[in-house]
């Protein structure tokens, strides 16, 4: 007979999964809830419970710890060493794909935020989990000028290594100037003000 603690744990996971499912059916509610720390904890717990285990030996980013080193390619097929390439400035990393509707909706706000931040504020970097040709065609057509890297989606992609084993898009990570993971965000930002508020604290932890 299962213990009381086991029954409670199963019930909690079932409840979290139900909340996550309802958020998928009510996108407006989901975006509002995702803008709160509580909502992010609920989403993270529910998705973690359903996500496949990452490949053995894969280093996953942890809040407060340095990002695992990885090498990605930019849109010109040049190698970029992460997080070394981002040293010296806090960086908002946004995982997206050209086929992801919510990703595309928030990109103009990310572009506006990057423009306001300029050369000395929070850097915005996209990581597209997509085909390189599709990404190269998309960026100029939509006026996206912040740097974008490309990775093939899969069980060891950049999103998984940044703490997103469920592969939900969009997914964002805030990285400190010295390469530590400050926090992550599941789901889209509501607007430019939401992005600015989320990225405001780049020294915590």
Looking up residue 153, the CATH number of its domain turns out to be 3.40.30.10
Cα distances (angstroms) measured from residue 22 to each of 5, 11, 19, 37, 167: 26, 16, 5, 18, 18
Instruction: For residues 53 and 191, give the distance between their C-alpha atoms in angstroms, rounded to a whole number.
Output: 33
Is residue 95 within 8 A of residue 159, CB to CB? The reply is yes
> Cα–Cα distances in Å, from 81 out to 31, 92, 120, 179, 205?
32, 16, 21, 12, 24
Look up the domain containing 136 and give its range. 56-198
Contact 67, 127 (CB under 8 A): no
Q: How far apart are CA 176 and CA 204, in angstroms?
A: 9
User: Six-digit token pair at 134?
Assistant: 């599709």
Looking at the fold, whether 37 and 102 belong to one and the same domain comes out as no
User: Under a CB-based contact definition with an 8 Å cutoff, are residues 181 and 67 in contact?
Assistant: yes
Give the chain's domain count: 2
Band the pLDDT of 23: cuts 50, 70, 90.
Answer: very low
Choice between 55 and 109, residue whose per-residue pLDDT is larger: 109
In a domain? residue 204: no
The residue from 50, 69, 87 where one domain ends is: 50
Same domain, 84 and 113: yes
pLDDT at 43: 72
* CB-based contacts of 175, cutoff 8 Å, min separation 6: 67, 83, 86, 90, 91, 92, 93, 181, 182
* 205 part of a folded domain: no
Q: Are residues 110 and 82 in the same domain?
A: yes
For the segment 124-133, what is each residue's pLDDT rounded down to a tens digit? 999 999 999 9
pLDDT 10s digits, 59-110: 999 999 999 999 999 999 999 999 999 999 999 999 999 999 999 999 999 9
10 Å CB burial of residue 121 (0-12, 13-18, 19+) is middle
Residue 69 lies in a domain: yes
Please indicate, yes or no, if residue 12 is contained in any of the structural domains.
yes
Could you report the per-residue pLDDT of 163-192, keeping only the tens digit for each?
Answer: 998 899 999 999 999 999 999 999 999 999
């Amino acid at each position: 007979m299962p213990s009381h603690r086991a029954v409670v744990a199963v019930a909690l996971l079932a409840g979290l999964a139900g909340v996550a499912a309802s958020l998928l059916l009510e996108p407006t509610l989901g975006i509002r809830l995702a803008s709160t720390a509580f909502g992010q904890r609920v989403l993270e717990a529910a998705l973690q419970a359903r996500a496949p285990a990452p490949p053995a030996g894969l280093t996953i980013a942890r809040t407060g710890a340095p990002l695992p080193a990885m090498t990605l390619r930019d849109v010109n097929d040049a190698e970029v060493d992460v997080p070394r390439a981002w040293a010296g400035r806090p960086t908002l990393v946004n995982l997206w794909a050209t086929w992801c509707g919510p990703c595309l909706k928030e990109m103009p706000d990310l572009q506006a935020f990057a423009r306001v931040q300029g050369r000395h504020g929070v850097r915005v970097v996209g990581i597209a989990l997509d085909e390189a040709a599709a990404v190269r065609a998309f960026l100029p057509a939509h006026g996206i000028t912040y740097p974008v890297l490309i990775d093939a989606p899969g069980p060891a992609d950049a999103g998984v290594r940044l703490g997103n084993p469920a592969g939900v898009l969009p997914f964002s990570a805030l990285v400190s100037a010295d390469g530590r993971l400050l926090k992550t965000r599941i789901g889209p930002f509501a607007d430019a003000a939401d992005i600015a508020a989320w990225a405001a604290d780049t020294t915590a932890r």
